[in-house]
Amino acid sequence: FPTQTGSLEVTPFELTVPIQIQKQRSGKSIWDDFFGDPFGKSEIYEFNAKSNTVKVEVENLPAGQPDSFKGAVGEYSFDASLNKTETKSNEPLTLNINISGTGNIKLLEMPEVNLPNGFEKYEPKVNEQVNRKGKVSGSKSGEYLFVPRVVGLREIPPIEFSYFDPSKKKYVTLKSEAFKIDIKPADKTVSTEIVGKEDIRQLGDDIRFLKTNFSDIRKKENYLINSTGFLIAGAVPFVLSFVIIGWKRRYDKIHGNVVLLRYQKAQKIAKNRLTTAKKLMDSQNHKEFYTELSTALFGYLEDKLHIPKSEFTIERAADELRKRNITEELIAALKAGAEKCEFVRFAPGAEKSAAMQEMYDEIADVIINLEKNILNKRNA
């Protein structure tokens, strides 16, 4: 699947084939045919076969994209279902969404579910199945769990999924029905316990009579309130409260700004993905290794450069890096690494294990150098 527009070239595929060539012999006698090698003497030569260069013209998506369009291209079907329409408050509900068809299933984004007020929503559980025989096809499903907290009749608006159909050359929007939910009050268990005379017993005789004579009480000169330890103990909660308030304000500022949060966590997420890729490389899982390596690089660029996933291309990332005064040498290394990784990832029958370590080191170096340069330019 192309990740950028314009005129693209598919790198030629090279293959080394061993060829056995029979060598002619001089002075051949009749006994050679009887006692000698029936195939004769031969030599092995290596022949380098190379395919032609394939050029592809990738067009921009047309204007007029629907609001629910998130970059899906292909031909898909879509359905959504709710496990029940009548429930009680604080009892969970499950909404299942399934998208199936032909296209880049792995990069499909699940549609947004807009819940009315009074629901507590959790992160969806997403599963995908990809079939690469012939046309790339498959399905992607999401299981959304949410809990109603308010009693009454609520309605989940229709869920929309949009994609661009290349065969029809137009955008297609699929829409589910609206889901009406009748929420009843939760069950309340009231326990009443009656205590009789036989349940009453004496617990102890250590309650003393109230003191009425205070003539033996004397005033002490040293009070706890005047001690240094008491003053320090009283000041600590105030200091801690200021620290907590400052931390809370910073936390709210960062987490309230999704773009800033993605920017600050880009390096950490990329590092985790590289660690996963390293484990896949050690287990010789070629397919998942190159997928994880590509996701680490592209995900880092999307988060660091504030580029939405549906609008991401290598050229767009290169333009954003130039705006940040990143050197052309580093941008060229980024392009080369991305193209090589994508080629090895999707090339059918390619020997992927030999270059796994080299590819891993190249992508890791690109991410590390980009992080250093972006931070240096920002602090300059």
Do domains 61-184 and 258-379 share one topology? The answer is no
Contacts of 8 (CB under 8 A, 6+ apart): 2, 55, 56, 57, 58
CA distances from 255 to 250, 251, 333, 374 (A): 8, 6, 33, 22
Other beta carbons within 10 Å of 206 = 5
Contact 93, 184 (CB under 8 A): no
Sign of the torsion formed by the C-alpha atoms of 358, 361, 362 and 363: positive
Q: Residue 335 forms beta bridges with which residues?
A: none
Token couple for 100: 């199936």
What is the CATH code for 258-379? Answer: 1.20.120
**Counting beta carbons within 10 angstroms of the beta carbon of residue 216, is it exposed (0 to 12), middle (13 to 18) or buried (19 or more)?**
exposed
Which sequence spans correspond to the domains of the chain? Answer: 6-57, 61-184, 226-256, 258-379
Taken in order 287, 290, 291, 293, the sign of the CA dihedral is: positive
Longest dimension (CA), the chain: 142
Which of 248, 270, 267, 266 has the alpha carbon at shortest distance from 258? 266
Contact predicate 322/255, CB 8 Å = no
Question: pLDDT tens digits, residue range 180-212?
Answer: 999 999 876 434 343 444 444 555 555 555 666
Q: What is the pLDDT of residues 161-174, one digit of tens each?
A: 999 999 999 999 99
CATH 1.20.120 fits 61-184, yes or no: no
Per-residue burial over 164-193, b if 16 or more Cβ lie within 10 Å, else e, is: bbeeeeebbebebeebebebeeeeeeeeee
pTM for this prediction: 0.42
Give 289-331 as a 3 state SS string: HHHHHHHHHHHHHHHHCCCCHHHCCHHHHHHHHHHCCCCHHHH
pLDDT digits (tens, 9 = 90+) for 46-61: 778 788 878 877 778 8
Cα 191 to Cα 186, 188, 194, 199: the distances in Å are 16, 10, 10, 18
Distance of CA 129 to the CA centre of its chain: 16
pLDDT in tens, the chain (380 residues): 666 667 777 777 777 777 777 665 555 554 454 445 554 566 777 778 788 878 877 778 889 999 999 889 999 999 999 999 999 999 999 999 999 999 988 888 999 999 988 898 888 999 999 888 878 899 999 999 999 988 999 999 999 999 999 999 999 999 999 999 999 998 764 343 434 444 445 555 555 556 666 666 665 555 555 567 666 777 777 778 778 877 777 665 554 455 566 667 778 888 888 999 889 888 888 888 888 988 888 888 888 888 888 888 889 899 989 988 889 999 999 888 888 887 777 765 555 565 788 888 888 998 999 888 888 877 66
